[in-house]
A and B are shown apart, each in its own frame.
Chain A
Amino acid sequence: MKLPQRVRIKYCGGCNPRYDRTALAAKLRAAFPGLDMPETDEDGGPYDFVAVLCGCPAACAEHEGLEGRAGKMLIVSADQYEALAAAVRERLG
């Protein structure tokens, strides 16, 4: 059986987010029901793609060492959702 591709969702700490990071992650999940999107490293890597969801342009999330086979994308605004979805579609499609 082929395992679903994995998009690791990594959040910043969320001290003063300018958009709802968990809602954006939920939207991504709904758009790609066939992908596995873990929010912790409990099951370990590797990951096919990494989406780092930061609440503001300070982008202070610690994501060093967290890499996806098909890349990583840093999000600092809800406006970047379409670009994120497009990247997931193109790179994991």
Chain B
Amino acid sequence: MANFVQLVILGLLAGGVYVAVGVGFGLVWGVLNIVNLAHGGLVIVGGYITWQLFTALHLDPFLTLPVNAVALFVLGYALQRGVINRIIRAPLLFTFLLTFGLNLVIINILLLIFGSDFRSVTPTYSGQGLEFGSVVIPYVSLTSLGAALLLAAALAFILNRTRIGLAINAIAADRDAAQLVGIDLRHAYAVTFGLGAACAGVAGGLIAMIQAITPTAGEPYTLQAFVVVILGGLGRVSATVVGGLAFGLVEAFGQSIPGSGSVFANAIAFGLMVLVLVTRPQGLMGRLR
């Protein structure tokens, strides 16, 4: 029983990271119709910013998260405005190629700056946790989950309550009509991608506290974000939150099966995605249009 509770807790805690990784990816996919293959690259950029600030300035890693968000927003805005906007009306394959290429560029720039060594962020409280009998709740994971939920709430607030958020909803619904009521498409697109990148940056900071990062460590996160968004359902932040937490739970239980282990993580993830696509194509929380 204690083992079961422990697995549920660890699953939900791990899900926090997936929520953070998924929300930005889902936003860009839902609004811009871009499956952003550079998402994992942007996540790792965030990881390196956290590592750099932690190592050089001894900042608490959680305090670096707002810095990640701002820096990645600027990077994302510039990428969309300067590069991706040029092919926004092109077929899906072009955006695949472009974002795949951007991912390679990001990885190689990171290799030039930081090298290929493993880097990890280990604050003094890492490895500690709350203990209830045999059940342990690690501080870092718990705070990460809190930060991820805060991130999702902030994104939902921006999308539903602010001027630019309403513009983003409008362009997602009908970009031509949005333009004709006075919405600047290029700016709104760039803000959308910037917000997606900012979420990736925050996710990267959380990941750097949990595992060692290298410039090439981002690729699994692109895949996981893809699965999480499909799992929850495209188009709403709350759906991605459910998708992320569900993914964390499935992974935790999947890895606890004797003879399984982390080797099968991807197989479990994609098996689950296929299962959802077959049985409930709109996602766990999605609405049919």
**Do A and B associate with each other?**
no
Residues of chain A whose beta carbon lies under 8 Å from any beta carbon of chain B: none
